[in-house]
Structure 1
């Protein structure tokens, strides 16, 4: 099937605009956030707005004042590499260039992992992701900038691509990370502080949304955010994406016939970047995939996907080169796997994201502290 785009208002709030809102709040110029002395951006990885509302009884602090409009939309693909970079740079994937989980480095003809493969795949964080981060923008304004996260992520390639310009601090638990972020914001007026909470995403991938592990992770984060916010500190809580559970019966496995004329399959199971052999007839391959996947997935060529604005209103030449010749988005809660690949470990993952469903793309946009009107 041709690509079925989500029906969203052009004025819908996007996570791309969060950075601009926070800076405007510090200047007292934001139309959506009150002025704050310092701001804390709390990112709950993998927490969709729909899942949060469905589990409101386990997240009373988070949902206490949550209204229908307290949501934002993630970017496409709705995956951490793309969405978190958009949140921390204020630009769309088509501009910062992290257009998926795994993409093709055409200069070397190899797939590179844009989340965890920077060192192993030989990607330079400074050149591969060249958009200024919110922390670099803060420094340009003379503002202190901090990132509070997990110690294991300090100095990683992805952190250097997205957190550069920030002073990094680590703490082991959500409660300790929130406390550290609030303390930094209180002690450094005018600062912007980012706090990363990955626990919900990890539990969802391994066990699924609704699992005991996922609910326990949500409850821990809710308890962490029940802490008192220091006076004058505005706190914005959001997420990079949500997720859907993919049962084994909803897996689409590609065989030798599907991958004819295909050189590389990148992306991830909820959103494939398909790169063709140089001599392949792209129109013919697109037609074949659309016929084979009728009713199961949406298929678009690169130009069609870019023209539809999937990767944002502007797509750089560099970003366009990383986008697949085909974009394949499974419908509903399906996921797609290359059955000819040697490594099949990803087929054991329960919670997944990357696609266009509301469960994946709607995220909370919640205000605490000085941001509560």
Structure 2
């Protein structure tokens, strides 16, 4: 089967351009955004554009502000580590190097979790992610830069990889984080403020996007963002990715007894987009053919070279190439694939999943508030 890519993969507004737009708006040089006294980037983790429109009655502030074309494309894979880093550096995963959730560290030939495992997996964020962050770019221009998140993220490896140059502030609830972001933008002319809201993503993973818990999280975020934006401040509300609900009968478990580990050294990535790393002496062509045959109808399986040639990761730096799997397994529909031999099996308990290229995962809102509003 041919690889199914989102419509407008190359032409859609993309989250990698958000940082440049916001910096430009502070100086009157943005293409899409008017000049602002200060700018705020709000990221509602996991909120896909289709899910938001499907629950518009529970998000009246966001839905009312969202015109038909107020969408953007995410990156590949549609996972938090890759997408947030692209948004906060302005470059694609092939350049910043966070090409999945769990990827191979080529120097040690081990899998590393580049979202939450920087310390435990022994990887240096300053070495793995060398692209300048939007906050470092702002500081170089003489602008104040702030990141508002939850306390447990302060000083984490992922924060060191993506929030370098920002003055980190924390608050417990979504409403408190939005309030703090508005206050910082109002008090510091020329400031760039990032506000991270993970509640919708967490509810989706645990309960699914049609659950009462997900709807409640969306309502709380929408209420927080209904707060009046200070005069002269521009706000963009977007997301890193969306998600789909995976029913139990669509979960495929890759058992070693069934031959899934034959010729395979590591299986990384996440259930909607696996990185499969072959043994050094494996027949790569035969491995690719077997995985394609056995997953026909469930997933697209492409080689590293095919993925790079297709531009899925954007331009790929030499140091990043070996982090990408020899095979990429991109789930179709609502399928998820689980490695039965993986030490971490938490993913098998999640209902909401993301990482692949469906419209539900790929398309995210691009909503403008305050001085940026239509």
TM-score by length of 2: 0.98
Out of 54-63 and 5-14, give the one that drifted further: 5-14
Instruction: Encode CA deviations 1:256-291: one digit per residue, 9 max, x unaligned.
Output: 212210000000000000000000010010001111
1:160 corresponds to 2:160: yes
| Pair 1:315–1:347, CA change in 2 (3 A) | same
Please give the residue correspondences for 1:1-373 in structure 2 after superposition, counting only pairs within 5 Å. Answer: 1-8=1-8, 10-256=10-256, 257-312=259-314, 314-373=315-374
Contact 1:145 1:165 in 2 (8 A): yes
Cα contact 1:2–1:300 (8 A) shared by 2: no
Instruction: Give 1:340 deviation, angstroms.
Output: 3.4
SS at match of 2:196: strand
| 8 Å CA contact retained: 1:40, 1:181 | yes
Measure, in 1, the Cα distance between the counterparts of 2:156 and 2:95.
22
SS in 1 for 2:26: helix
Deviation string for 1:205-261 (max 9, x for gaps)?
Answer: 000001111011000100000101100000000000000000110011112212210
> How many Å separate the matches in 2 of 1:76 and 1:343?
23
User: How far 1:342 moved relative to its partner?
Assistant: 4.8
Q: Conserved in 2, the CA contact under 8 Å of 1:2 and 1:299?
A: no
Q: Distance in 2 between matches of 1:77 and 1:65?
A: 28
1:2: Cα distance to partner?
5.0
- 1:5 offset after TM fit, Å? 2.5
- CA-based RMSD of the aligned residues comes to 1.0
* Counterpart-to-counterpart distance in 1, 2:118 and 2:84: 16
Superposed displacement of residue 296, structure 1? 1.1
Shift of 1:11: 2.4
Distance 1:137 1:23 in 2: 8
Runs of 4+ in 1 over 2 A off after TM superposition: 1-7, 339-345
> How far apart in 1 are the matches of 2:86 and 2:139?
19
TM value normalised by structure 1: 0.98
Distance verdict in 2 for CA 1:340–1:120, change over 3 Å: closer
Structure 1 residue 343: deviation in Å?
4.2
How many residues are paired up? 372
Structure 2 distance, partners of 1:76, 1:10, is: 12
Q: Any gaps of 5 or more consecutive residues in structure 1?
A: none
The answer (yes or no) to whether the contact 2:65–2:373 under 8 Å persists in 1 is no
Contact map agreement 1:2 1:290 (CA 8 A) in 2: no
